[in-house]
Structure 1
Amino acid sequence: MARPAPRYLEIQQHILAKIQRGEWPTDHRIPGEEQLALDFNVSRMTANKAIRELVQRGYLTRQPGAGTFVTERKAESSLMEVHNIAEEVRGRGHHYRARVQRAEAIDASEDIALQLGVKRGSKVFHTRIVHHENDEPIQLELRYVNPRHVPDYLDADFTLTTPHQVLIQTWPITDIEHVVEAVSADTRQAEELAISTSLPCLQLRRRTWSNDLLISYAVLIHPGDRYKLRSAWKD
């Protein structure tokens, strides 16, 4: 017989449902701990735990003397895992859309050849896609794929699916390599992301393997004021 979920999770689910349905928008002051404890017939400590965890996860913010408020969450991805960005956006209760800038076969430059483990000048598949959350650009994805491993890559409609979905259908990811740095967007990138060239960006370089095969190399650029990367480790 399954054990009932902890009561603090019930409070969290209630709060998240209110946020996702738009009943509690950004900057809305949520009920205090005493009121939540009364509403759910729990101790104030349990209500505090529910709120504290949602603050840590970025859904709420505390303002001393004023209360607890719904915060505008930055889009977030994990550094330890690779997720489908469309699912991440929809999981936050938001609308996802992709704008495909390029989908083509190109000759590998020296850098791309090195990163993808192919000869310089050999043909590789390239996609350039701007991912949107609620019609706001949150990620520019420049991806390079070895056509030997995914010959049908460019046949996909990337307005309906993502490169991640296409790749894992054939080659489940077993290993990843991430390199993160702060960068400034060039003029073209800034235009695609609808930002100023003076705004700092987070750039993530990612290589993915399936067993011993190096499948793809991607450069993911995020506006620094709209995105954060998270890393968690447990022993």
Structure 2
Amino acid sequence: MMTHLSRLIDDAPGPIYAKVKQAITQQIHSGEWQPDQRVPSESEMVKALNVSRMTVNRALRELTDEGILIRQQGVGTFVARKKAHSALFEVHNIADEIAGRGHQHKAKLIEIVKAKASMEEAVNLGVRTNHPIFRAIILHCDNDTPIQIEYRVVNAELAPDYDRQEFQHNEAYHYLNQAAPMTAGEHLVEAIIATPEECALLQIDQSEPCLQIKRRTWSHDQLVTNARLLSPGSRFQLFGHFEQ
């Protein structure tokens, strides 16, 4: 492992810390170092590469900031898993996005209830207080890794059978599109810290920042759903492309 890394550094141009970064990145992109694999320690790199600890520390720190590595205090440094990403300017089915990466989507229905809209829910759905709604909490996984908690409020008059759908295989998403076809949507994106309960569901440390998407969707002039989607920052990213 270290011999190959040393050769890559010898061949690379630029400052020494940049050479170390480039060599580590090449090891990852070539598949020599796999996601979740522990990389050599700072001490091991310093000794094998004959460079200063400051040089190695800077290279590892910058690769961690860029999301290529994950450093766990007292445990070591590991190759980060490739982040899932979602389109920023479109509303996509998360199951399709996961399948598009060659992975298996799994969903667990945590809770679903039919209720009367609170004042906040009524405002967000553009209905009166006490209007019939569904509240659902769904945990989405990429293979067996939790990737998103979905909190969804649905206008029950527009989708009366929402609570009868099979959530594990994402039938609820297709039912909504049939009952009230989406014609418009909006996103609000924020960085937040999840609650301890959410961290437990997502299997993340309580200090890890999360990406929160607040999403509303319309069918013509009627609001159908208001959702809050919460994902670990280390496993998820947004992507957008635009032209003018």
TM (normalized to structure 1)? 0.69
Residue 12 of structure 1 corresponds to which residue in structure 2?
none
The gaps in structure 1 that reach 5 residues or longer are 1-25, 31-60, 62-69
Task: Give the stretch that moved more between structures: 147-156 or 99-108.
Answer: 99-108
1:27 equivalent in structure 2: 28
Residue of structure 2 aligned with 1:180, choices 161, 178, 189: 189
In the alignment, does 2:139 pair up with 1:130?
Answer: yes
Percent same amino acid at aligned positions?
A: 41
Asked if 1:77 is matched to 2:94, the reply is: no
Name the residue aligned to 1:57. Answer: none
> In the alignment, is residue 205 of structure 1 matched against residue 206 of structure 2?
no
1-side partners of 2:171 and 2:87: how far apart? 17
1:112 is aligned to 121
Q: How far is 1:121 from its partner?
A: 3.1
1:10-49 equivalences in 2 (<5 Å): 27=28, 29=30
> Per the alignment, in what secondary structure is the counterpart of residue 115 of structure 2?
strand
Contact 2:150/2:229, CA 8 A, preserved across alignment: yes
Q: CA deviation at 1:27?
A: 2.7
Q: How many residues align?
A: 173
Distance 2:219 2:134 in 1: 17
Aligned CA RMSD, in angstroms, stands at 2.1
Identify which range, 188-197 or 129-138, moves more after superposition. 188-197
Rg (Cα) greater in structure: 2
- What 5-or-longer segments of structure 2 have no aligned partner? 1-26, 32-67, 69-78
Cα shift at 1:107: 2.8
Runs of 4+ off more than 4 Å: none
SS in 2 for 1:166: helix
The aligned counterpart of 2:63 is: none
Letter of the aligned partner of 1:129 in structure 2? I
1:181-212 CA-to-partner distances (Å, cap 9, x unmatched) read 11110121111111122110010000000111
Aligned positions of 1:85-100 closer than 5 A: 85-100=94-109
CA–CA distance in structure 1, aligned partners of residues 140 and 184 of structure 2: 24
For the pair 1:155 / 2:164, whether they are aligned, the reply is: yes
In structure 1, distance between residues paired with 2:80 and 2:197: 31
Distance in structure 1 (CA, Å) of the matches to 2:203 and 2:134: 26
